[in-house]
Structure 1
Amino acid sequence: MINPENPGFIESGRFRIIEVFALWEGRANTTHLQNILKISRQTASEIIRQYQKRHPINLAYNASLKGYVPTAEFTPHYSLGSIDEYNQTLLHSQHPEYVSIAETGFTHLDAPLRKISPALVQPIIRAIRDKLRLDIGYTSITNPEYESRIIEPHSLVFEGMRWHVRAYCCKNQSYRDFVLSRFNGEFAFEGPATHFAAQDENWNTWLELIIEPDSRLKPESRRIIEMDYQMENGQRIIPVRAALLMYLTQKLRLDHYQTTPEAQQIIINPECLKKIAPYLP
């Protein structure tokens, strides 16, 4: 179990900041740590010294840049190496130097979604952790009025736009996805659950979604698409749970076929489409 108060956990978080800035700004220095962690220069220097001691070949001091730059042998040990990680580090910092995403060239486009309150999530989290059956109010497109639903949730899923609850629905006697914002928060626990993630067939079934450039594109345009999606031999294979396949195809805009190849850009490999068709709407 991760303990945020554990010294090792805190140390890893601090080392992660060093790696994030070294990767995406080309240098890490005491100022980065001072601004984000609200610590003294002396403490920041000690953190960098500890990192250097732990991973001596990762960073080298550059006097002209007044910071530590990644070496050719740099390997991240605490960061994911994702640009989103750098973005989030800037976004969550409260220091004026980093709080403005615009100053670093980043812009956020937030979807106009309903804010999820902790009171709405708490009973669902408890039901998942303690394996409980939950009676909770829910509304849907087909049933606009709130009605009591008895569910046995096992996972929370964020598909890029909305949060969903994956749960066994006692009314429909099957595993289903429920949009989290459609619960009303009125709940009652109904004893131990009897259906769990291990019994959710679509949740435990892994598929391979194979995408490739639209064949209508010119060869030079297809090569650009291959680079965009980091394809190998003209394809990208994406592992996905069968229960989440629909969300992934929607996110990749593969749920509708566009009239022009420039608008479509990528398609599902025809043979792959035959295999995954039973799991699509």
Structure 2
Amino acid sequence: MDTQEHIETSFQERECFLIIENFALWEGRVNTTYLRNILGVSRQKASDLFALYQHLHPENLHYDASLRGHVPTDEFSPYYASGHIDDYSQLLYRSGHPEYLSIFETGFCYLEAPLRNISPKLVQPIMRAIRDKLRIDIGYTSLSSPEYESRIISPHCLVFDGIRWHVRAHCGKSNEFRDFVLSRFNGEAEFEGPASCAAEQDERWNTWLDLIIQPDPRLTPQKRRLLELDYQMENGQRVIPVRAALVMYLIQRLRLDHYDKTPEAQQIIIEPECLKRVSHYLP
């Protein structure tokens, strides 16, 4: 077996094991039909992949004849799946037929936000600049400057905030690190030589904060306890590590960028002392 074939086979095995664990974990049953439909492999190949997983991790699954599939044991522990429901939802969305795959027959709905249409031709030079640590000259527009203007930037990371893609980069015009909305770039990018600054020099990017959230204290103890369970809080709080450069986006995703008059609408808040500490990094 040559090196390329070995890499491809290993990748297929890992992908197969991820599918097995996610459906066993979230639906309580899995069989070769899942592998055949998602991976598009033959019945024999699916059986071989499933048998390999069983050989490597015999403690995780056992066959249940009444369900016509393998179910997780009491000792089940995922080796490849993260244990997050997002992984499971992505598999259903990827299949295109979630109602066929789910044994519960409850259907599955994946709500897509109106994401910006990003051209691969736009992303390619940015990714090259990140990879090769280059500076690029590209057109950009913003709410403060609605006309396209040339910007020379040294990008070091693409960031997805849940709604939009951003480029974290050093800006030659402002001589500081900033976030640029990816969909607002336009035109042909031109490479301008080595990057002027590297990620290691991005202070806010390399500064980590603990965003501490807690239930709105105006709520009743029963309602606060419910929110503690929703957000997996300990001792009434949840600590979320986040880069200082990205804390604003996290606050927006949690809908904590404004304060509602009613506690039922607000639900959670940023712990007051924490808010003082992170306010330095907010607009």
Q: CA deviation at 1:104?
A: 4.6
Aligned to 2:117: 115
Aligned to 2:54: 52
Q: CA deviation at 1:79?
A: 1.1
Q: How does 1:56-71 map to 2 (within 5 A)?
A: 56-71=58-73
Structure 1, unaligned stretches of length 5 or more? none
Q: CA deviation at 1:7?
A: 2.3
Aligned to 1:158: 160
Q: State TM-score, norm by structure 1.
A: 0.95
Pair 1:26–1:270, CA change in 2 (3 A)? same
Aligned to 1:25: 27
How far, CA to CA, are the matches of 1:140 and 1:4 in structure 2?
A: 47
Aligned to 1:205: 207
The partner residue of 1:136 within 118, 135, 138 is: 138
Aligned to 1:245: 247
Q: CA deviation at 1:109?
A: 2.0
Root mean square deviation, CA, Å? 2.0
**Structure 1 residue identity aligned to 2:151:** R
Equivalent pair of 1:17/1:33 in contact (CA under 8 Å): yes
Equivalent pair of 2:207/2:244 in contact (CA under 8 Å): yes
Deviation track 1:149-193 (CA, whole Å, cap 9, x = no partner) reads: 000000000000000000000000000000000001421000011
Equivalent pair of 1:91/1:98 in contact (CA under 8 Å): no
Q: CA deviation at 1:6?
A: 3.3
Aligned to 2:173: 171
The partner residue of 1:261 within 235, 260, 263 is: 263
Deviation track 1:34-91 (CA, whole Å, cap 9, x = no partner) reads: 1112222222111111101000100011111011100111111111111111111111
Runs of 4+ in structure 1 over 6 Å off: none
Name the SS of the counterpart of 1:6 in structure 2.
Answer: helix
Equivalent pair of 2:165/2:182 in contact (CA under 8 Å): yes
**Structure 1 residue identity aligned to 2:228:** E
Pair 1:109–1:94, CA change in 2 (3 A)? closer
How far, CA to CA, are the matches of 1:8 and 1:99 in structure 2?
A: 25
Equivalent pair of 2:247/2:281 in contact (CA under 8 Å): yes
**Structure 2 residue identity aligned to 1:61:** Y
Q: CA deviation at 1:108?
A: 2.1
Equivalent pair of 2:32/2:47 in contact (CA under 8 Å): yes
**Structure 1 residue identity aligned to 2:239:** I
Structure 2, unaligned stretches of length 5 or more? none
Pair 1:125–1:118, CA change in 2 (3 A)? same
**Structure 2 residue identity aligned to 1:68:** H
The partner residue of 2:78 within 66, 73, 76 is: 76
Pair 1:221–1:99, CA change in 2 (3 A)? same
Pair 1:95–1:210, CA change in 2 (3 A)? closer
Identity %: 67
Q: CA deviation at 1:236?
A: 0.2
How far, CA to CA, are the matches of 1:252 and 1:107 in structure 2?
A: 21
**Structure 2 residue identity aligned to 1:36:** I
Aligned to 1:227: 229
Name the SS of the counterpart of 2:10 in structure 1.
Answer: helix
Pair 1:3–1:135, CA change in 2 (3 A)? farther
Deviation track 1:201-230 (CA, whole Å, cap 9, x = no partner) reads: 000000000000000001100001101100
Name the SS of the counterpart of 1:32 in structure 2.
Answer: helix
Q: State TM-score, norm by structure 2.
A: 0.94
Equivalent pair of 2:169/2:180 in contact (CA under 8 Å): yes
Q: CA deviation at 1:105?
A: 3.0
Aligned residues: 279
